[in-house]
Amino acid sequence: MVEAALELSNNLITGAEIQQIIDLAKEILAADVRLFDQVEATLRQLTKDFTLMLISKGEQWEQELKIKKSGLGKYFRYIEIVGDKNETAYTRLLTKYQIAPNKFLMVGNSLKSDILPVLKIGGRAVYIPYAHTWFHELEVSADQAQLRYDELENLTQLPDYLHRLVKYS
Confidence tier at 104 by pLDDT (50, 70, 90): very high
Query: What crossing angle do the helices spanning 39-46 and 158-167 adopt, rounded to 10°?
Result: 20
pTM: 0.80
pLDDT at 55: 98
Indicate if the pLDDT at residue 128 is higher than 60. yes
Residue 12 has what pLDDT? Answer: 94
Q: Which fold has domain 39-167?
A: Rossmann fold (3.40.50)
Residue-range domain boundaries for the chain = 1-31, 39-167
* pLDDT, position 87: 96
Bridge partners of 80, per DSSP, are 55
Q: How far apart are CA 72 and CA 58, in angstroms?
A: 17
